Amino acid sequence: MRKASGLLAGVVVLLLGAGVRPPGLGDVADVRVWEHPGYTRVVVELTRPAEYETHVLADPPRVYLDIGEVWIQPPLRDARTLEGTGPVRQVRGGQNTLRRARVVVQMDRAGRAHRTFHLRDPFRIVTDVYWEGSVQETPPTTVSSFDLRPVRRVVIDPGHGGKDPGARSKKGLSEEDVVLRVARALRERLKGEGLEVFLTREDDRYLTLEERTQIANDRGADLFVSIHANASPNKRSNGVETYLLDTRYDRQTARVAARENGTTVEALDDLHKILVSLRLGYNERFAARLAHRIHHSLVKALRQTHGDTQSLGVKRGPFLVLFTAQMPAVLVEVGFLSNRAEAARMKSKKFVEAAARGIATGIVSYRDEHARRLLAGR
């Protein structure tokens, strides 16, 4: 698996008259390309919502997006040639007219299955080009091999960071700092248990949700755990909850997912439709086992130091950071920064160590259970 991301760099730009940008246009903020087993994803991020059209041409085979009322600047106009074995050979952009940008996805052959959809906040146009067969075809064996091997490598994702600090307490404690401290302590505990551990970020830096999951995929992780701290308009809300990816969710889960996805509750309707088309069933039972193990041990550990810790249970929801994980993946909310008492706890080393101990115990418990199942052949 390989990531070709960020600003696409080097094509000849169309000279449109004097090339003077008309007033009132939005911008193409970024173009990112991700190669996954089974498909290649091209994400065009805009500074605002826009109307767009998708077209297909056969010689050479390509899909192109015409995006109205936006401007595409160099180096985003430039081309990127992919050297992998995936279905996408090149992505390039240009200003098709003074008021319309065009992004071209060139494929290796005609007839490739593909789909295009959009996400909000920020507005992104996503094109998936599939390696073989249709959207409904069974994923390659590399996607599901996690169930045939022991758990040796774990990727921990401290949520948020950089320009996205996440939730903040009334006294200024930020989610990005709390979860990074927990992740570092968790790493040391898991290393002590003989596991290989990587963090998606080591410091205060920004990563997209896609980048976080891709790090786990590229590392060949056996488990992926994203750590967060919650927030709610109800300042009395408190407790710990653990999530796995699913199409089923209630209104409260929608609120949490919207905040962690950087979108709105209303926009989750689009995400729900996308999720329906994904094959969640295969690794769902593994993620559910992991979520229950972590949640139980986390609540137990926190109650040993903070006796009134509430368990809000294991839940399911459309969390973007879990979308493309090729291994069991869960998201853990260790408490509410919007709750004065829990925010005060989260500042302490005692809380950080207890949270890390609880999550580590759950991961090790899952590892050992998984090893027993492998020996038993089930």
* pLDDT tens-digit series, residues 130-180: 886 533 333 333 446 788 889 999 999 999 999 999 999 999 999 999 999
Measured CA to CA, the distance from residue 174 to residue 161 in angstroms comes to 9
Per-residue pLDDT, averaged over 230-243, amounts to 96
Whether the predicted pLDDT of 18 surpasses 50: no
* Residue ranges in the chain assigned as alpha helix (H): 141-144, 175-192, 209-218, 251-261, 268-276, 281-305, 340-346, 349-376
Is the per-residue pLDDT at 299 higher than 60? yes
- Could you give the domains of the chain? 3-130 (2.60.40.3500), 141-376 (3.40.630.40)
377 vs 170, higher pLDDT: 170
- Please report, for residues 78, 86, 177, 254, the alpha-carbon distance to residue 240 in angstroms, rounded to integers and kept in the order given: 46, 41, 18, 16
pLDDT confidence bin for 6, thresholds 50/70/90:
very low
- In terms of pLDDT, which residue wins out, 7 or 178? 178
Model pLDDT, residue 194: 96
Position 141 scores a pLDDT of: 38
User: Does 139 or 341 have the greater pLDDT score?
Assistant: 341
- Inform me whether the pLDDT recorded for 235 exceeds 90: yes
pLDDT at 38: 74
Residues 322 and 245 sit within 8 Å (Cβ to Cβ): yes
Nearest to 238 by CA among 336, 348, 354: 336
Peptide bond into 60 cis (omega under 30): yes
Residue 325 pLDDT class (50, 70, 90 cuts): confident
Separation between Cα atoms, residue 250 and residue 178, nearest integer Å: 27
CB atoms within 10 A of CB 138: 11
Residue 75 has pLDDT above 50, yes or no: yes
Residue 118, pLDDT score: 84
To the nearest 10°, the Cα dihedral for 127, 129, 134, 138?
A: -100
The mean pLDDT of the chain is: 86
The rounded percent of the chain whose pLDDT value lies above 70 is: 87
pLDDT confidence of residue 15: 34
pLDDT digits (tens, 9 = 90+) for 112-142: 888 888 877 788 999 989 886 533 333 333 4
* Cα distance between residue 17 and residue 126, in whole Å: 30
Spatial contact of 233 and 337, defined as CB atoms under 8 Å apart: no
How long, in residues, is the chain? 378
Question: How far is the C-alpha of 263 from the C-alpha of 308, rounded, in Å?
Answer: 32
Is the model's pLDDT at 369 over the cut of 70? yes
The encoded tokens of residue 234 equal: 């109800």
- Report how far apart, in Å, the C-alpha atoms of 86 and of each of 3, 44, 202, 226, 359 are: 11, 19, 30, 28, 36
Q: Are 154 and 197 in contact (CB under 8 A)?
A: yes
* CB contact at 8 A, 302 and 309: yes
Short-list 116, 62, 120, CA closest to 92: 62
Q: Which residues, 6 or more positions from 339, have their beta carbon under 8 angstroms from its beta carbon? A: 232, 235, 236, 237, 238
